[in-house]
């Protein structure tokens, strides 16, 4: 900041004040571009967002340029904007009339004398990654040093980086929703575009057509029942029944009767014959949620059903045949239950023929925004509220929260917020006290450029790298373009356990070499 003169410092101060206002992100950024014009003489300011996957930049916010009805984008390396996105380095053109790279896709300068204009373009960096591009014109006679102009524009880019990053996440989710809505209506209500969820969707498509047993592992509230329903709905058994059993909610004394049925008089209180859930699921699917809670006797009978497709109701000598497909789910590590003697080893291998790991919400990055929007739409219709948006502060709080209750906790949080709000925006005051307290504490602790928003993205990237390298931290550091020491610091700070990825490696090796 010490390299800037008084006018430039005053401009940066005004820009910082605009970013602190409780406005919509676009309104904040348009005000920033206006301040650039009024205080720095930079006209036709434009902010483009970078799509991480396609490498394409698209013009999102502009001042002094009419974007009505236009969708302007640049491929990586195309034009000056594409070059800055590709290299991550600023570019300046002293005379637009002599620059072949300049494309003027907006047409904003078609009636102007380009010989009199200079063009400035800088990357918007967030946590060492390009998330957008900031550009502007300036009268050539008013430019004494292109390097000085790029320096002040880069300072503006640093100030707006966080807002641009969040806006890019929001726009990415809007575009993905449009793409999804243009295709066929999903057969089940599963929302997610993160890499972890895309892997889950791929596994569902592979296993749905078979009768293979599936074991879904995930924390409480991650939506294991939705995955089971998706497998059933997309299978040839879709017209058959889907029978759900919560093994943790049924007492040990009744679980066998619940699963396999009983004859009249089989035990005290058995006043009539009862069909079991396995018999009801014939021709369809039975979903055993929290399967780790089954008693030893029920585990033995379940193993027999999986092996022989037959079972006996309590108090009966008759054998009943079932072809029900079994999908089980647990929030515990069954390997630990086996080690503690609470779960049968042979049953585990029968159930986990095709394991599916459902990632916790905190590892799903921008899916949190997508799910938040979905729940807001759901509850504003239910409560008849005028809610139209979630404030930036709330989005940041959501992205930094660990969500121990996962998607279920997020939905409860949104339901409460929609119920409380009287205006068009969900604000921090509408969140549960736990999120408000953590957000305030986080604001005090935050330092430098590492924000709570990017922390969720960092965690996702590190987990992907560890998964790809099978827990090898040196290899993971190379994949992420950092050092092993820095990676180890991040792993410790984010509470990631790299050993679980090594365990998966050993399990895959044992499977490949039985």
The more confident residue out of 482 and 503 is 482
State whether 208 and 166 are in the same domain. Answer: no
Pairing of strands 129-139, 43-50: antiparallel
- The more confident residue out of 266 and 462 is 462
The verdict on pTM exceeding 0.75 is no
DSSP per position, 189-215: -----SHHHHHHHHHHHHHTTS---EE
Q: Are 29 and 170 in contact (CB under 8 A)?
A: no
Report CA Rg, the chain. 29
pLDDT of residue 252: 76
pLDDT score of 490 more than 60 = yes
Domain that holds residue 392: 361-445
Round to whole Å and give the CA distance between 189 and 375: 12
Domain end point (choices 427, 445, 463): 445
Beta bridge partners of 481: none
Q: Identify the pLDDT of residue 185.
A: 33
Q: Are residues 409 and 373 in the same domain?
A: yes
Q: Does pLDDT of 131 surpass 70?
A: yes
For residue 441, the model assigns a pLDDT of 45
Q: Which residue has the tokens 């055993």?
A: 288
Same domain, 136 and 165: yes
Cα–Cα distances in angstroms (integers) from residue 495 to residues 272, 363, 397, 467, 492, in the given order: 53, 12, 19, 16, 5
Q: Residues 80, 109: contact at Cβ < 8 Å? A: no
The lowest-confidence range among 229-233, 383-387, 449-453 is 449-453
Shared-domain flag, residues 351 and 320 = yes
Q: Which of 258, 247, 218, 227 is nearest to 347 (CA)?
A: 247
In a domain? residue 416: yes
Same domain, 324 and 461: no
347 & 376 share domain: no
Residues 84 and 175 in one domain: yes
pLDDT, position 21: 82
CB 252 within 8 A of CB 299: no
Nearest to 228 by CA among 354, 76, 388: 354
Where is pLDDT greater, at 262 or 333? 333
Verify that 158 and 61 share a domain, yes or no.
yes
In degrees and rounded to multiples of 5, residue 203 shows phi and psi of -65, -40
Query: What gap in Å lies between CA 280 and CA 275, rounded to an integer?
Result: 7
Which comes out higher in pLDDT, residue 37 or 191? 37
Measured CA to CA in angstroms, residue 36 lies from 12, 32, 124, 162, 170 at distances of 9, 6, 15, 18, 25
């Amino acid at each position: 900041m010490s390299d800037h003169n008084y006018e430039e410092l005053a401009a940066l101060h005004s820009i910082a004040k605009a970013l602190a206002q409780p406005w919509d992100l676009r309104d904040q950024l348009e005000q920033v571009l206006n301040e650039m014009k009024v205080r720095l003489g930079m006209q036709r300011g434009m902010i483009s967002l970078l799509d991480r996957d396609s490498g394409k930049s698209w013009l999102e916010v502009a001042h002094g340029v009419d974007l009505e009805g236009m969708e302007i984008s640049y491929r990586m390396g195309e034009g000056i904007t594409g070059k800055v996105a590709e290299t991550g380095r600023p570019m300046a053109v002293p005379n637009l009339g002599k620059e072949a790279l300049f494309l003027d896709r907006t047409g904003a300068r078609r009636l102007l004398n380009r010989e009199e204009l200079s063009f400035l373009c800088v990357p918007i960096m967030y946590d060492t990654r390009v998330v957008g591009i900031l550009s502007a014109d300036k009268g050539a006679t008013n430019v004494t040093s292109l390097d000085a102009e790029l320096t002040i524009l880069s300072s503006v880019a640093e100030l707006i980086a966080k807002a641009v990053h969040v806006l890019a996440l929001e726009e990415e989710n809007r575009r993905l929703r449009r793409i999804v809505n243009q295709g066929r209506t999903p057969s089940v209500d599963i929302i997610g575009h993160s890499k972890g969820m895309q892997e889950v969707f791929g596994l569902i498509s592979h296993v749905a057509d078979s009768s293979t047993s599936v074991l879904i592992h995930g924390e409480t509230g991650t939506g294991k029942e939705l995955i089971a329903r998706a497998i059933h709905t997309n299978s040839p058994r879709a017209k058959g029944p889907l029978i759900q059993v919560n093994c943790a909610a049924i007492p040990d004394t009744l679980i066998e009767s619940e699963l396999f049925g009983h004859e009249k008089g089989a035990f005290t209180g058995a006043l009539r014959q009862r069909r079991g859930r396995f018999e009801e699921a014939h021709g369809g699917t039975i979903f055993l949620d929290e399967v780790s809670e089954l008693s030893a006797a029920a585990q033995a009978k379940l193993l027999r059903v999986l092996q022989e497709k037959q079972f006996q109701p309590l108090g009966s000598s008759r054998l009943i045949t079932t072809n029900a497909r079994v999908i089980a789910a647990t929030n515990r590590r069954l390997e630990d239950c086996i080690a503690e003697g609470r779960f049968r080893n042979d049953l585990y291998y029968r159930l986990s023929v095709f394991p599916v790991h459902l990632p916790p919400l905190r590892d799903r990055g921008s899916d949190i925004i997508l799910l938040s929007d979905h729940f807001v739409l759901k509850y504003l219709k239910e409560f008849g509220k005028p809610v139209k948006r979630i404030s930036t502060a709330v989005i940041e709080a959501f992205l930094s929260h660990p969500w121990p209750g996962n998607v279920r906790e997020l939905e409860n949080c949104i339901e409460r917020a929609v119920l409380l709000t009287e205006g068009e925006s969900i604000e921090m005051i509408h969140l549960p006290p736990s999120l408000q307290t953590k957000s305030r504490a986080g604001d005090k602790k935050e330092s430098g450029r590492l924000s709570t928003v990017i922390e969720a993205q960092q965690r996702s990237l590190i987990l992907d790298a560890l998964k790809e390298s099978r827990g090898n931290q040196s290899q993971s550091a190379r994949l992420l373009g950092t050092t092993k020491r820095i990676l180890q610091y991040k792993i410790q700070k984010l509470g990631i356990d790299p050993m679980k990825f090594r365990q998966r490696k050993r399990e895959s090796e044992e499977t490949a070499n039985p």
